[in-house]
Amino acid sequence: MKILANDGISASGIQKLEEAGYQVILTKVAQEQLANYIQEKEISILLVRSATKVKKDILEACPGLRLIGRAGVGLDNIDTAYAAQKKIKVINTPSASSRSVAELVLAHLFTGVRHLQKANREMPLEGESHFKQLKKAFVGRELYGKTLGIIGFGNIGREVAKLALGIGMNVIANDLSLLDKAEETLPIALAFPDGQHLTLQITLTSKEDLLQQADFISIHVPSQKDYVIGAPEFELMKKTAGLINTARGGVVDEEALDKALRAHKLAFAALDVFKEEPHPPIKLLMNPDISLSPHIGGATEEAQERIGLELAQQIIATFGNQN
């Protein structure tokens, strides 16, 4: 069977698939040429990340497709409902990149409280002539003892909680599926490299209470029809709060975020995802109070290895050894 890894796959994933008799093609095919390429090359399995869109037009034009694999968590770039109608299996890797995304959240959080995004912009320009002034301007805050509110408490949200607990933060969480349950707390197990384990309790709360209590807020929800955070939510948040979105572009009202920052209703924000990727609005890119990254939450060597192997294992489990 032929596999087109249109957005790439790790070397270990390729090796595992080829050892099982699959042909892996790494050609990067443009979106407008994808359907024709799949047909001409008789591709049975299509692997994508977030860049390639697999909507109804592709699925309709490619009756030979048997499986679509998403190297990551979200499936909003794939028409899963229509794929099910066409009996095309869709798989993803929901936990393989959780640790990597969580570490990026903490990186952005440290960046925000220590003004590193501003310092890195100002030092090349003013560092030589105004060093002492910059030193006074960039007095920061510690994270120890502060409260992190996590909206969306799936695999990634829980990894963020573990890291935050590890540096001495208080953690509260909001997740609609969990709030339907009777429990008000949720146990989180922390595992350490030396084999030790520790279980701590996370308080579950309403979205409104979380927004009012949290010193910092991190979002970990799938793509939504409506904003999770917009102008009304910014009014509830502390003026000293920071907001981090590594989930999906469009879950935060970017216009309202920009206005809230410029009106000092929010201390800082961090964005790894944008509504109009790959062309985020220039006013967000130029806002000095936003720490920015180009959708790199899962872009670590370790995560890509895990993703590639997990996709390969699922494919082989579905279609068997082809040798």
Predicted confidence (pLDDT) per residue in 58-76, tens digit: 999 999 999 999 998 889 8
Render pLDDT for 156-178 as a digit per residue (tens, 0 to 9): 999 999 999 999 999 999 998 77
Q: What pLDDT was estimated at residue 206?
A: 92
84 and 213 fall within a common domain: no
140 and 202 fall within a common domain: yes
Q: Active-site residue among 233, 295, 306, 310? A: 295
252 and 307 fall within a common domain: no
Tell me, yes or no, if 121 is annotated catalytic. Answer: no
Render pLDDT for 207-243 as a digit per residue (tens, 0 to 9): 999 999 999 999 999 888 899 999 999 999 999 999 9
Residues 164-173 as b/e (b if ≥16 CB within 10 A, e otherwise) read bbeeebbbbb
For the chain, what is the domain count? 2
Instruction: Name the pLDDT band for 179 (thresholds 50, 70, 90).
Output: low
For 18-22, 110-114, 277-281, which range has the lowest pLDDT when averaged over its residues?
A: 277-281
Higher pLDDT, 141 or 193: 141
87 and 199 fall within a common domain: no
Q: What pLDDT was estimated at residue 181?
A: 54
Render pLDDT for 84-118 as a digit per residue (tens, 0 to 9): 999 999 999 988 999 999 999 999 999 999 999 99
54 and 74 fall within a common domain: yes
Instruction: Name the pLDDT band for 26 (thresholds 50, 70, 90).
Output: very high
Closest CA to 267 of 292, 301, 234, 300: 234
Q: Active-site residue among 103, 122, 255, 277? A: 277
Tell me, yes or no, if 122 is annotated catalytic. Answer: no
Residue-range definition of the domain harbouring residue 30: 2-94+301-319
Higher pLDDT, 189 or 138: 138
82 and 104 fall within a common domain: no
CATH number for the domain spanning 268: value is 3.40.50.720
90 and 104 fall within a common domain: no
pTM above 0.75, yes or no: yes
211 and 181 fall within a common domain: yes
74 and 117 fall within a common domain: no
256 and 165 fall within a common domain: yes
Tell me, yes or no, if 277 is annotated catalytic. Answer: yes
Q: What pLDDT was estimated at residue 76?
A: 87
Q: Active-site residue among 108, 115, 248, 306? A: 248
85 and 108 fall within a common domain: no
Question: To the nearest whole number, what is the mean pLDDT of the chain?
Answer: 95
